[in-house]
Structure 1
Amino acid sequence: MTTYYRTALTAVGPDVADLLDGGILILFAEGAPPELAEVSVLHRVEQGPTAEAPPVGATITIGELSAKLTAIGGYAWAKVAEIGHVVINFDGGTETNRPGEISASRVEAPDLLAAIKPGAVLTISA
């Protein structure tokens, strides 16, 4: 099994719950500008990202929650590597809304809300 990315969630912005309700998770590396931190989950990378993007079908886990990647935008992995930022849509889409985003299988909003908390670890592996 290859671990493409492993990061620890360190802070949850005050507006994150509203976005998670719609299945949208915005990750930003620690040190994000305050206006972005309000809508983001801040994190600290523990491993990766790998040079190559994970394949569709890779597993994303957040604590005990897991989903499958269903689409990866053309710029998404580069954004993860360069600035620690990515938008993950838990919408099951086979195409991303924007080239800098990732889509994953659908997750119920209450389950997503429960998983996103400081100290949780997000891992992408296949």
Structure 2
Amino acid sequence: MRTIYQTTITYIGQSAREALDDNMLITFSEGAPADIQDFCFIHCHGALSGTLEPGIGFELNGQHYDVTAVGDVAQQNLQELGHITLRFDGEAQAEYPGTVHVNGPLPHNIETGCQLKFLV
């Protein structure tokens, strides 16, 4: 598989882990507004060199997931802001325009230094 996006988590907002209780992981690139940082996994922004679409792979700290749905603005948000909401529910239809749905277990032990990748 070829990596089309790779980044590393550099900061975890005070309330970011609470979204995991709802099967969500919210990302934003470094430099996010302060009121948003508390709810996000902040990362050093990487370059996207492919298309986010169902059927590609997602990897978080070595755990592989299959992408099952991609919202209409998820790719643009990732490219411009490093912002997406990952849902670990395997849904075939995106719940919101900025959401990427994946199939697989809810991640645990996410720490700074964890890598996030999209693969084709």
TM-score, scaled to structure 1: 0.88
Q: Greater helix share, 1 or 2?
A: 1
User: Cα deviations across residues 86-126 of structure 1 (Å, max 9, x unaligned)?
Assistant: 11111111011111111111323xxx131x21001101102
Contact 1:21 1:113 in 2 (8 A): no
TM-score, scaled to structure 2: 0.92
Partner residue in 1 for 2:73: 75
Contact 2:30 2:45 in 1 (8 A): no
Cα separation, 2, equivalents of 1:79 and 1:54: 11
Partner residue in 1 for 2:112: 118
Cα separation, 2, equivalents of 1:27 and 1:11: 10
**Residue from 36, 50, 53 that aligns with 2:51:** 53
- Percent sequence identity over matched residues? 27
- Tell me, what secondary structure is at the counterpart of 1:107? coil
Q: Show the 5 A alignment for 1:1-126.
A: 1-46=1-46, 48-50=47-49, 52-108=50-106, 112-114=107-109, 116-126=110-120
* Unaligned runs of at least 5 residues, structure 1: none
Moved over 6 A (4+): none
Contact 1:23 1:107 in 2 (8 A): no
Contact 1:76 1:86 in 2 (8 A): yes
Contact 1:25 1:40 in 2 (8 A): yes
Contact 1:71 1:102 in 2 (8 A): yes
> CA RMSD of the aligned region, Å?
1.3
Contact 1:54 1:125 in 2 (8 A): no
Cα separation, 2, equivalents of 1:12 and 1:75: 24
Task: Please tell me the residue identity of whatever aligns with 2:116.
Answer: L
Aligned residues: 120
Cα separation, 2, equivalents of 1:73 and 1:16: 21
Cα separation, 2, equivalents of 1:14 and 1:103: 24
Residue 54 of structure 1 deviates from its aligned partner by 2.8
- Tell me, what secondary structure is at the counterpart of 2:112? coil
